[in-house]
Amino acid sequence: MTVLTAVSDVGGLVHPALFYADDASYVAGTVPFLREGLDAGEPVMMAAPPSRLDLVADALGPAASDVALHDMTVAGRNPGRIIGGVLRAFVDEHAGAGRVRIIGEPIWAGRSPAEYAAAVQHEALINTALGDRPATVLCPYDTSALAPAVIADAHRTHPVLVEGGVTTSSACYADPAGFAQFMSGPLGDDDEDADLGETLVVDAPTGPRTVRLAVAEHALRAGLPEDRVADLCLAAYEIAVNTVVHTGRPGLLTLWTRPDGGREPAAVVVEVQDSGWIADALVGRHPGGPAEGRGYGLRLVHQLCDLVQVHSDPTAGTTVRMTMHLPRAGG
């Protein structure tokens, strides 16, 4: 019986952070948790970077084939798509099957500062998005590679902490909605060496079609591959439509290209600012298709882009920043 068994007997979400320092402590904290779920007939999933997936799969042996495995560097490249596309999708798929067990590792050494902030926001919002679901979501954190501030944030986003086989309650656990709002911004200026492109007023006379043309021209000039240009154009179009339809006032679209060599990777960035307010931080993170209505456009944007940052305030309005990474030079 793992140390999480007792807390997993509650009806709703159990969301522990697992602190590990090496491969041995990673295996000790994850493999028994997965095996216990498999032995109980519970649906089990793991989403983590490839090196962690390989480590656990080797330790599980043949039983690894019974675990749904996802490369978090792909599925969770944009943290805003994890709740709807990975966690809720798995939980909803197994609705009625009892408790599900998930290992989710969205934060690892090498995440850029902007990605990290979005990943912390995601961790906080898990507590709201899955609060009433019978799920245990165990989130590993590498104490040997992550900064102390990262570990401190894990204490704020997880009500339960596990380290060295000991389970405790977090004394620093923060209100999920409030902490997610804090981590969302306001969005600061990007790289000072960025190549500023066109700035457009987004309104009905300008039309979302004009937005698509401007984004396509800038992104192609910056060297973004054509298929990614199409994705970015669609994402910008969706947000422009939201501005026109939902605010009734003009918005402002700004384009720029971020060079390589800074704290953030080289990328084409599209930002839309308007006077609207998104009161629900989970808008765009729920699973579902166009029939779901409200929030589908933002969910699509999360699926299309490498990173989506949203800051919304009832006074200052809403900023949506969409990022597409440029191919690395020479590869």
What's the pLDDT tens digit per position in 70-82? 999 999 999 999 9
Domain boundary, last residue among 124, 156, 183: 183
* Ramachandran angles phi, psi of 319, nearest 5°: -120, 125
Residues 226-255 have a mean pLDDT of 93
Q: Determine what percent of the chain is predicted with pLDDT higher than 90.
A: 79
pLDDT for residue 1 is more than 50? no
Domain boundary, last residue among 161, 183, 205: 183
Residues 175 and 46 in one domain: yes
Residues 215 and 265 in one domain: yes
Residues 18 and 114 in one domain: yes
What's the pLDDT tens digit per position in 39-63? 999 999 999 999 999 999 999 999 9
Residues 153 and 72 in one domain: yes
Residues 105 and 18 in one domain: yes
* Domain range for 233: 195-325
Residues 13 and 157 in one domain: yes
Q: Determine what percent of the chain is predicted with pLDDT higher than 70.
A: 93
Q: How many domains does the chain have?
A: 2
Residues 146 and 207 in one domain: no
What's the pLDDT tens digit per position in 245-275? 888 889 999 999 999 878 899 999 999 999 9
Residues 108-112 have a mean pLDDT of 96
Residues 139 and 89 in one domain: yes
Residues 218 and 256 in one domain: yes
> CA–CA separation, 98 vs 178, rounded Å?
30
Mean pLDDT of the chain: 92
- Identify the pLDDT of residue 328: 82
Is residue 152 one of the residues assigned to a domain? yes
CATH number at residue 300: 3.30.565.10
Using the CB atoms, write b or e for 94-121: b if 16+ within 10 Å. beeeebbbbbbbbbbeebbebbbbbbbb
